[in-house]
Structure 1
Amino acid sequence: MKQLIRMIAALCLFVTLLVLRELPAVIPAHYDFAGNVTRYGSKYELLILPVVLLLLSFGSRFLLLHFHRKAEQAESDKERQAAEANAKVLGIVIFPQTLILSCIQGVLLYNTVLALRGESFLGTLAGDKLLTILFGALLVLVGNVLPKCKRNGLVGFRLSWTRYNDITWQKSNRFAGIMLVAAGIFGIVSTAFSPKGYGMLLLAVYTMAAIVISIVRAWQVYRAEKARERDRG
Structure 2
Amino acid sequence: EALPLLFISWAIIFGVAVFMAPCVPDQLPSHWNAQGQVNSYTSKPLAVFLFLGLIIAFYILLVFLPRLDPFRKNYQQFAKAYSWLRLILVAFFVAFYIIFLLAASGHLSNIQKAIIPLISVLFIGMGFLMPKIKRNYFVGIKTPWTLHSDEVWAKTHKLAGWCFIAAGALCFFTLWAGDWAFVLFMIIILLAVLSPVVYSYLEYKKLGLFKN
TM-score after normalising by structure 2? 0.80
Name which of 108, 131, 134 aligns with 1:147.
131
User: Which amino acid in structure 1 is aligned with residue 205 of structure 2?
Assistant: R
Identify unmatched segments of 5+ residues in structure 2.
Answer: none
Name which of 84, 105, 112 aligns with 1:113.
105
* Secondary structure in structure 2 of the residue aligned to 1:133: helix
TM-superposed deviation, 1:65:
7.9
Does the Cα contact within 8 Å between 2:66 and 2:75 map onto a contact in 1?
no
TM-superposed deviation, 1:181:
1.6
The structure-2 alpha-carbon separation of the partners of 1:122 and 1:224, relative to structure 1 and needing over 3 Å to count, comes to farther
User: Which amino acid in structure 1 is aligned with residue 113 of structure 2?
Assistant: K
Q: Which residue of 2 aligns with 1:45?
A: 47
In angstroms, what is the RMSD of aligned CA positions?
A: 3.0
**Residue 192 of structure 2 is aligned to residue 214 of structure 1:** no
* Correspondence 1:186-201 to 2 at 5 A: 186-191=170-175, 193-195=176-178, 198-201=180-183
Q: Give, in whole Å, the separation in 2 of the partners of 1:181 and 1:148.
A: 14
Does the Cα contact within 8 Å between 2:141 and 2:197 map onto a contact in 1?
no
Does the Cα contact within 8 Å between 1:60 and 1:90 map onto a contact in 2?
no
User: Which amino acid in structure 2 is aligned with residue 45 of structure 1?
Assistant: A
Identify unmatched segments of 5+ residues in structure 1.
Answer: 72-81, 115-119
Does the Cα contact within 8 Å between 1:150 and 1:170 map onto a contact in 2?
yes
The structure-2 alpha-carbon separation of the partners of 1:37 and 1:205, relative to structure 1 and needing over 3 Å to count, comes to same
State the structure with more CA Rg: 1
Q: Which residue of 2 aligns with 1:131?
A: 115
Is 55-64 or 103-112 further displaced after alignment?
55-64
* Secondary structure in structure 2 of the residue aligned to 1:28: strand
The structure-2 alpha-carbon separation of the partners of 1:156 and 1:48, relative to structure 1 and needing over 3 Å to count, comes to farther
Does the Cα contact within 8 Å between 1:132 and 1:199 map onto a contact in 2?
no
Q: Give, in whole Å, the separation in 2 of the partners of 1:59 and 1:95.
A: 13
| Aligned sequence identity (%) | 20
Q: Give, in whole Å, the separation in 2 of the partners of 1:47 and 1:8.
A: 16
Q: Give, in whole Å, the separation in 1 of the partners of 2:43 and 2:151.
A: 47
Number of residue equivalences: 208
Q: Give, in whole Å, the separation in 1 of the partners of 2:143 and 2:184.
A: 26
Does the Cα contact within 8 Å between 2:174 and 2:184 map onto a contact in 1?
yes
Q: Which residue of 2 aligns with 1:9?
A: 10
Name which of 96, 101, 117 aligns with 2:93.
101
The structure-2 alpha-carbon separation of the partners of 1:109 and 1:147, relative to structure 1 and needing over 3 Å to count, comes to same
TM-superposed deviation, 1:96:
3.6
Q: Give, in whole Å, the separation in 2 of the partners of 1:162 and 1:224.
A: 13
TM-superposed deviation, 1:154:
2.7
**Residue 144 of structure 2 is aligned to residue 160 of structure 1:** yes
Name which of 49, 53, 56 aligns with 1:54.
56
User: Which amino acid in structure 2 is aligned with residue 107 of structure 1?
Assistant: I
The structure-2 alpha-carbon separation of the partners of 1:25 and 1:221, relative to structure 1 and needing over 3 Å to count, comes to same
Q: Give, in whole Å, the separation in 1 of the partners of 2:181 and 2:169.
A: 12
Does the Cα contact within 8 Å between 1:129 and 1:199 map onto a contact in 2?
no
Runs of 4+ deviating beyond 6 Å: 64-67
User: Which amino acid in structure 1 is aligned with residue 159 of structure 2?
Assistant: F
User: Which amino acid in structure 2 is aligned with residue 98 of structure 1?
Assistant: V
TM-superposed deviation, 1:166:
0.6
Does the Cα contact within 8 Å between 1:29 and 1:42 map onto a contact in 2?
no
